[in-house]
Amino acid sequence: MKTKLLLFILLSLPYLSQAQYEFHRYEDVPVSLNGNALSNAWAGGLNSPQFSKIDLNGDGLEDIFVFDRIGNRILTFVNENGTAGAMEYNHEFDYVAMFPDSLKNWVLLRDMNCDGKKDICSSRSSSIMVHTNNGGGELSFDLAVDKLFASYNLSGTPFDAPTYCVSVDIPSIVDYDNDGDMDIFSWTETGGTIYYYKNISSETGNCEDLTFKTVNRCYAKIEEASESFTMFLGDDFDCGFNVVDPEFNGEDTRHTGGMLLSIDLDQNGILDLVVSDVTETYMIALLLEEGTDGLDEAVELHLDFPATFGGSDQVDMRVFPGGFYEDVNNDGVKDLLACPNGTVDTEDNESVWFYLNNGSDDLPNFQLQQQDWLQETMIDFGRHAYPVPVDYNGDGLMDLVVSNKEYNQSVDQHYSQLALFVNTGTATEPAFDIVDLNWLNLPQYSVESVFPAFGDLDNDGDMDMVLGEEGGILHYFENSAGAGNPMDLSLAIAAMSYEDNSDIDVGQFAAPVLFDINNDGTLDLLVGERNGNVNYIRNNGTAESFSFVLEQDTIGDALATNFLGIFGNAVPFFWRDEADEIHMLLGTETGNIMHFDNISGNLEGTFNLVTENFADIWEGTYSGACMYDFTGDDTLDIVYGQVGGGLAFYRGGDLIINTPEINELANLNIFPNPASDLVYVSGIQALDAGSWLRVRDMLGREVVAQKCTSTPNCPIDVSALKSGWYLVELRNAKGAVIGTGKFAKH
């Protein structure tokens, strides 16, 4: 096995050989909050989720499929208990790979080809894309149509054209006329009236043909005002409505649009409409009756949905609420999940409002149960999450500090917080207790989009903090706790400056790392920013007193991947391998993790881009990752921050070693521990003449190097070392690490 790998600038430093690592999604690291275990801790969080049901594992129970518009993320949850009233859903990441990676904006799962299996309907260039479920024993989807077409007759000349559904909208896809196939309702190009696309596949005898006919462009005799959420019913507006092959001669206006949901609310056998708007906070229920020529029209309007149909709690969100009608408690009756569907100013960690249906599918009685359904089982810190490992309490176990972009309290009130995860497990079985969701009370400083970095900047044996933020400046928090004690941080410098007293300001979204990149014994600042570059700010001071100078604004010519060629949102992480070579991971706007090497001794050159997609990890946009051997198996693990405000844990797996001289590690026994003057390293057997013992401090600096000439106990003089933790490595003549240990110095 390979040497134990430890994080830079913390308790010790990670080392990675010239090897390829395999990582797998790992859900088994326990996380608790307020004494309650989070059953789906590592699911990733939710912001603007869209819910559908599908049998993921073929056990006959329908499971939960979630598509989050923010980040275009898929999450899958297996239904573990089909008993009526039970809601035991476990996050199972492996099913995500079974869905296409081209899904964007909105996704609804519906049986489109009448084979009893849920297919995929999704957004595609202001139309609808369909993938059919052709799997036997497991899920397998094939593209059926890139754009779903329908026949039109708007001016007397029939033609075929794509169904219309602009990407911001979500259509209603439902068997409206009870003929066994799925029909579609969507907002028209004006955004004021509604298309009714009738599926005539069952009439033609082949449901797989997906044949649609546009039978109405002013469905339900309603119109939404072009500049507001005002609804006009019946004779209050002028449109060629409720006619077969409608002709429309109105002028196009701006698209207001939103979401459509079809539910029979009053048990009259006609599906009513629930409507939301992209600019509004509430939802409207429109009750329909059979109108002229057997076609339906709206006759009643309720602005407080769903309060009229059950309790007193209407949907009231910041912007663009949507509704999903699915049975989530396994009682055979569909419930209502109300969720935001915008891309900004969402409810963040309270974005799934669960209304239990105490009535029936066609006469619902909705009772609000909670506003964080499923979210209460997972880590969810609002918008974006960026993890940083640090031994907060000096117990030798690596903890986590997680920052976020923001919590949205209102349209004009956004703030960031730090969450403190204390590792209460062991060196091989980590377990985290979230002890503080607002560590250091950052809202008092009115900062957003924060990124913490930890390192001992005053050489007193404890970890200080540099905090980057959206405004591009850096804040210095000094730790007065002393070595081995829980951190006691206080703001010492509100805005850090360069050696010439000018403010350090990298532009926007400063994401700092403290790392001795030039091997001079002092911690430098490497600061990612919104433009995608990483600033190299060299420490020109001493270990006790920092002084910073801007060396480069784009070190190594490294740029984070982006969507439009403008912003990359670089979030860097650095480590050294066992050959003392430096590597960099770079979180990006696109969500990929980039890996660079050829950094050591090449600070003025161009770094080598090893891959744009490290470990093939992608779980949505805006990524940030860190590594540490949390599981004590001598391979690095990854904690991956997500746009949904949550985290994913990837456990390091098998190694493909390119340096076969690395041998099985020995666990070194070091005593006395803690030490004052001398420590003895035991557990050493017969060694060749070239074996060395090397001691590194928690900044990764080599402080002692000596040959080991006596066995089984080899003494090391540590009298000159400062108080703190130290890592001991035993290397053979070829330089391979064959043993590790650690000790504390009084």
The per-residue pLDDT for range 481-534, each reduced to its tens digit, is 999 999 999 999 999 999 999 999 999 999 999 999 999 999 999 999 999 999
Among residues 626, 484, 589, the alpha carbon closest in space to that of 14 is found at 626
Contacts of 153 (CB under 8 A, 6+ apart): 159, 214, 245, 246, 247
Burial 58-87 (b: 16+ CB within 10 A, else e): eeeebbbbbbbbbbbbbbbbbbeeeeeeeb
Dist. CA 517–CA 9, nearest whole Å: 11
Name the residue among 186, 288, 192 with its Cα closest to residue 237: 192
Which 3 state secondary structure label does DSSP give 151? strand
Contact by Cβ (8 Å): 665, 740 = yes
Identify the pLDDT of residue 162.
Answer: 97
Geometric angle at alpha carbon 239, from 156 and 125, rounded to 5°: 70
- Cβ neighbours, 10 Å, residue 565: 7
Please name the fold of domain 19-25+379-657: Tachylectin-2; Chain A (2.115.10)
d(CA 440, CA 464): 13
Q: Closest Cα to residue 210, out of 111, 110, 113, 107?
A: 113
Q: Cβ–Cβ contacts within 10 Å for residue 729, how many?
A: 22
| Spatial distance between the Cα atoms of 81 and 88, rounded to a whole number of angstroms | 6
Start-end ranges of CATH 2.115.10.20 in the chain?
Answer: 19-25+379-657
Q: Return the structure tokens found at 528.
A: 């990612």
The SS3 of residue 724 is: strand
The answer to whether the peptide bond before residue 674 is cis (omega within 30 degrees of 0) is yes
Location of each CATH 2.60.40.1220 domain in the chain:
666-745
Q: How far is the C-alpha of 496 from the C-alpha of 475, rounded, in Å?
A: 6
Beta-carbon contacts of 226 under 8 Å, excluding residues fewer than 6 positions away, are 190, 191, 192, 253, 254, 256
CATH number for domain 666-745, candidates 2.40.50.140, 3.30.70.260, 2.60.40.1220, 2.60.40.420? 2.60.40.1220
CATH topology of domain 46-371: Tachylectin-2; Chain A (2.115.10)
User: Which residues in the chain show pLDDT less than 50?
Assistant: 1-19, 241-255, 654-664, 699
Tell me, rounded to whole angstroms, the distance of Cα 297 from its chain centroid: 42
Q: In this structure, what token pair is assigned to residue 245?
A: 């092959």
Q: Which residues contact 108 (CB under 8 A, 6 or more apart)?
A: 50, 52, 121, 122, 170, 171, 173
Residue type, 275: V
Contact between 195 and 127 under an 8 Å Cβ cutoff? The reply is: no
The dihedral built from the CA positions of residue 203, 179, 144 and 164, taken in this order, carries a sign that is positive
Question: How far apart are alpha carbons 540 and 555 in whole angstroms?
Answer: 17
Tokens of 482: 């002393």
Q: Which residues pair with 242 in a beta bridge?
A: none
- Compute the distance between CA of residue 374 and CA of residue 352 in angstroms, rounded to an integer: 8
Quick one: which of 219, 143, 155 has its CA closest to 183? Answer: 219
Q: What CA–CA distance (Å, rounded) separates 746 from 484?
A: 10
Measured between alpha carbons, how far is 59 from 82 in angstroms, rounded to an integer?
A: 10
C-alpha closest to that of 245 among 218, 215, 220, 221: 215
Burial class (CB in 10 A: 0-12, 13-18, 19+), 522: buried
Q: How far is CA 571 from CA 532, 550, 585, 724, 743, in A?
A: 8, 18, 8, 29, 32
Distances (CA, A) of 91 to 80, 371, 582, 690: 10, 19, 35, 51
Say what the pLDDT of residue 489 is: 98
Residue 13 in tokens: 């430093």
Q: How do 647-657 and 666-667 pair as beta strands?
A: unpaired
Sign of the alpha-carbon torsion through 23, 24, 28, 33: positive
Are 714 and 708 in contact by the 8 Å Cβ rule? The answer is yes
Residue 110 and residue 550: Cα distance in Å, rounded?
56
H-run or E-run covering 221? none
Q: What is the pLDDT of residue 685?
A: 56
Whole-angstrom distance, CA of residue 203 vs CA of residue 199: 9
Sequence-ordered list of residues with C-beta below 8 angstroms from that of 47, at least 6 positions apart, any chain: 68, 69, 70, 71, 340, 346, 348, 351, 383, 643, 644, 645
Backbone angle region of 95, left / alpha / beta, with phi > 0 → left and psi within -120 to 50 → alpha: alpha
Question: Do 48 and 351 form a contact (C-beta atoms < 8 A)?
Answer: yes
